[in-house]
Chains A and B, each alone.
Chain A
Amino acid sequence: MTADARPRPPSPTVTAEEFETRRAQVHAMGGPAKLAARREAGILNARERIDRLCDPGSWIEIGEFAWSAREEDRGRTPAEGIVTGFGKVEGRDVAVASFDLTVLGASSSATNIRKLDFLKKRASAAGIPCAFLIESAGARMPDIQGATGMGRIGLLSSMSRDRDTPWVSAVLGPCYGMGTWYAVMSDFAVMRKDATFSVSSPKVTSVAMSQEVTPEELGGSDLHAETTGQVDLVTDTDEEAIDALRRFLAYLPSNASEAPPMGTPAPGGDPEEVEALIPPERHRIYDGRKLVGLLADEGSVMPFRPRFGRTLETALARIDGRTVGLVASNPMRKGGAIDGPSCRKMTEFTVLCDSFNVPIILLADTPGFLVGLQAEREGVAGEIMNNIRALTLATVPKLAVVVRKSYGQAYLNLGGGIADALAVMTTGEVGFVDPAVAVSVVHNRRRGDGEDYETLMQDMVVSNSPWELAGMFAAHAVIRPGETRAWLSRMLEVMRRRPTGEVGAHRLSTWPTSL
């Protein structure tokens, strides 16, 4: 067709000029002063964060011209405070919501709750992850006030999820109310170190509880990384936080009905370094994180919640390119004794792996569960049973390795009798308790107590040996420490769930996102 030379009549509704003006108004967000202040502070704005998360040129916005349901606020609610749309991360589509604090504090309102609801539903239907880049002042007044405001919220959306696609969150500023809900409901939550998130703001806390507290006391990054365990990683900058979301998503499938994508295989650590790392003496400690690093493809380990429950290291990693979830005792922390936080962290990590078809690898070197007054008062018994139920119900391939000692109930919780295959290293020993404790309980003897103490001790040690476990076929292999990576890699290949396209039954996908 040739161009029509005749003058066209003007558009009956919107001119190109008006369209560009409107778009510019939306993209100006909360105005130049607020944006300049953020730039000064080294903090990205809501749209820059999307650019950081998504592959160049992949962003398509949804609800760009949405505004407040209150007519008087239309002019000051560009994109209604939460920018939503779809972009690609490493070539795969992701639904993204970026909270814009410069627009009425990215507070939750009728329209932006509907924007989020739209995003979540379309992401589930399309089988793509959701990424939330969060900061929020909480509920917007007067939108959410009185019976009408609150009643409307109840009719608008549901704060639930099926864990059918991965959710990731970055908390990148002050965050209360709805923003906090998204953070704790995610499969992976990262926060910038000076960000905060809590249910209520200090202002509300002050009025409701007569407590004068700072935002950091209520929900700073140290608190969440070390005490509540509600954040999985803390970073110095926005850029690092968003890069962590990209990295995390790269290990996982786009949805629960797919197998995780294969990465580029890389060599693992030197087998001789593995041999050298593990001290044969059962009372000596070493850094369990180093063992994880040596067994995985070089540079592939992404620690999950590293500052919480540190007696068990949890990490996503790759072995010969295949995504795995590693759970490893860290004898450097409390000798590797599993405490309540470690137990809860492992359970949540098991749920994550089971939900997204990630094989689980368990590396046991533990004197047992940490018992005592405090643990019992905190209900550790229930946590131990939640933990073993989760591992049992998980239908992904599960491989267990007894690195050194694995005593009592902890042996079972780290895969004894549950894993698809269990190997015991030549350095391994399995029993009810440490041999010295066993001698003390069974024979009522302590070191230096009678001439035959050493004989009794030796008998206990022998009864804990790899040969006993392999002989009664509770261990399926005895391996030298240096052979571990090769054994794991081969067993991962063998144990693939071929009949279901490497997709599990996801019996844990309805378990809580915070345990």
Chain B
Amino acid sequence: MEAKSEITGRVLEVVASPGQQLAEDDPIVVLESMKMEIAVTAPRAGTLREIKVGVDDLVEEDQVVALMDPA
């Protein structure tokens, strides 16, 4: 399962870590875009496997930001 960014932006903060259990809509990383802090969230409940971006990385719309194993 892939967590994708809905919007183009810059990574401000990584707020979850691999191995963590997440509920649907829990934040994984926070981006800055449109002068807002916008979270990339878990699409469904599951375990976070890998985060593919770091702070200050530029992220495109629809880019895969993290991989998850569905619950």
Chain A interface residues (CB < 8 Å from chain B): 282-285, 287, 331-337, 367-368, 370, 372, 374, 434, 436-437
Taking a contact as CB atoms under 8 Å apart, the answer to whether B39 and A334 are in contact is no
Residues of chain B with a CB closer than 8 A to A335's CB: 7, 33-38
Residues of chain B with a CB closer than 8 A to A285's CB: 36-39
5 A-B pairs closest in CB distance: A335-B36, A434-B35, A367-B34, A334-B7, A335-B34
> What's the tally of chain B residues with a CB closer than 8 Å to chain A?
14
Taking a contact as CB atoms under 8 Å apart, the answer to whether A284 and B37 are in contact is yes
4-61 of chain B: CB within 8 A of chain A: 6-8, 25, 32-39, 41, 61
Residues of chain A with a CB closer than 8 A to B36's CB: 282-283, 285, 331, 335-337, 367
What number of residue pairs across chains A and B have CB atoms under 8 A from each other? 45
Residues of chain B with a CB closer than 8 A to A336's CB: 36
State in angstroms the CA–CA spacing of A186 and B6 once bound together. 29
A-B contacts, 11 listed (Cβ < 8 Å): A283-B36, A285-B39, A332-B25, A333-B6, A334-B34, A335-B38, A367-B35, A367-B36, A370-B7, A372-B8, A437-B35
For residue A434, which residue of chain B has the nearest CB? B35
Taking a contact as CB atoms under 8 Å apart, the answer to whether B6 and A283 are in contact is no
State in angstroms the CA–CA spacing of A368 and B32 once bound together. 15
For residue A371, which residue of chain B has the nearest CB? B34
Q: Find A334's partner among B6, B25, B35 (CB 8 Å cutoff).
A: B6
For residue B32, which residue of chain A has the nearest CB? A283
Taking a contact as CB atoms under 8 Å apart, the answer to whether A332 and B39 are in contact is yes
State in angstroms the CA–CA spacing of A336 and B6 once bound together. 11
State in angstroms the CA–CA spacing of A282 and B36 once bound together. 7
For residue A283, give the distance in angstroms from its CB to the closest CB of chain B.
Answer: 5
For residue A435, which residue of chain B has the nearest CB? B35
State in angstroms the CA–CA spacing of A332 and B27 once bound together. 10
Residues of chain A with a CB closer than 8 A to B61's CB: 374
Taking a contact as CB atoms under 8 Å apart, the answer to whether A436 and B37 are in contact is no
Taking a contact as CB atoms under 8 Å apart, the answer to whether B37 and A337 are in contact is no
Residue with the greatest number of chain A CB neighbours at <10 A, chosen from B37, B39, B41: B37
For residue B43, give the distance in angstroms from its CB to the closest CB of chain A.
Answer: 11
Residues of chain A with a CB closer than 8 A to B35's CB: 282-283, 335, 367, 434, 436-437
Residues of chain B with a CB closer than 8 A to A367's CB: 34-36
For residue B5, which residue of chain A has the nearest CB? A334
Taking a contact as CB atoms under 8 Å apart, the answer to whether A334 and B38 are in contact is yes
Residues of chain A with a CB closer than 8 A to B38's CB: 285, 334-335
Residues of chain A with a CB closer than 8 A to B41's CB: 332
Residues of chain A with a CB closer than 8 A to B25's CB: 287, 332
Residues of chain B with a CB closer than 8 A to A372's CB: 8
For residue B45, give the distance in angstroms from its CB to the closest CB of chain A.
Answer: 16
For residue B39, give the distance in angstroms from its CB to the closest CB of chain A.
Answer: 7
Q: Find A283's partner among B7, B37, B39 (CB 8 Å cutoff).
A: B37
For residue B33, which residue of chain A has the nearest CB? A335
Residues of chain B with a CB closer than 8 A to A370's CB: 7, 34
Residue with the greatest number of chain A CB neighbours at <10 A, chosen from B36, B38, B61: B36
State in angstroms the CA–CA spacing of A287 and B38 once bound together. 11
Residues of chain B with a CB closer than 8 A to A368's CB: 34
Taking a contact as CB atoms under 8 Å apart, the answer to whether B34 and A337 are in contact is yes
For residue B29, give the distance in angstroms from its CB to the closest CB of chain A.
Answer: 13
For residue A29, give the distance in angstroms from its CB to the closest CB of chain B.
Answer: 37
For residue A56, give the distance in angstroms from its CB to the closest CB of chain B.
Answer: 37
State in angstroms the CA–CA spacing of A336 and B7 once bound together. 11
Residues of chain A with a CB closer than 8 A to B34's CB: 334-335, 337, 367-368, 370, 434
State in angstroms the CA–CA spacing of A436 and B32 once bound together. 13
Residues of chain B with a CB closer than 8 A to A282's CB: 35-36
State in angstroms the CA–CA spacing of A336 and B39 once bound together. 12
State in angstroms the CA–CA spacing of A436 and B41 once bound together. 26
For residue A34, give the distance in angstroms from its CB to the closest CB of chain B.
Answer: 34
Residues of chain B with a CB closer than 8 A to A437's CB: 35
For residue A386, give the distance in angstroms from its CB to the closest CB of chain B.
Answer: 23
State in angstroms the CA–CA spacing of A334 and B32 once bound together. 10
Q: Could you list 5 further interchain pairs (A-B, Cβ under 8 angstroms) beyond the known A331-B36, A370-B34?
A: A285-B36, A285-B38, A333-B6, A334-B33, A337-B7
For residue A376, give the distance in angstroms from its CB to the closest CB of chain B.
Answer: 14
State in angstroms the CA–CA spacing of A285 and B12 once bound together. 14
For residue A41, give the distance in angstroms from its CB to the closest CB of chain B.
Answer: 24
State in angstroms the CA–CA spacing of A283 and B37 once bound together. 5
For residue A303, give the distance in angstroms from its CB to the closest CB of chain B.
Answer: 14
State in angstroms the CA–CA spacing of A282 and B25 once bound together. 21
For residue A286, give the distance in angstroms from its CB to the closest CB of chain B.
Answer: 11
For residue A335, which residue of chain B has the nearest CB? B36
Residues of chain A with a CB closer than 8 A to B6's CB: 333-334
For residue A279, give the distance in angstroms from its CB to the closest CB of chain B.
Answer: 10
Residues of chain B with a CB closer than 8 A to A284's CB: 37
For residue A373, give the distance in angstroms from its CB to the closest CB of chain B.
Answer: 10
Residue with the greatest number of chain A CB neighbours at <10 A, chosen from B6, B25, B35, B37: B35
State in angstroms the CA–CA spacing of A370 and B33 once bound together. 11
State in angstroms the CA–CA spacing of A436 and B8 once bound together. 19
For residue B8, give the distance in angstroms from its CB to the closest CB of chain A.
Answer: 8
State in angstroms the CA–CA spacing of A9 and B37 once bound together. 86
For residue A505, give the distance in angstroms from its CB to the closest CB of chain B.
Answer: 37
Residues of chain B with a CB closer than 8 A to A287's CB: 25
For residue B8, which residue of chain A has the nearest CB? A372
For residue B31, which residue of chain A has the nearest CB? A335
For residue B37, which residue of chain A has the nearest CB? A283
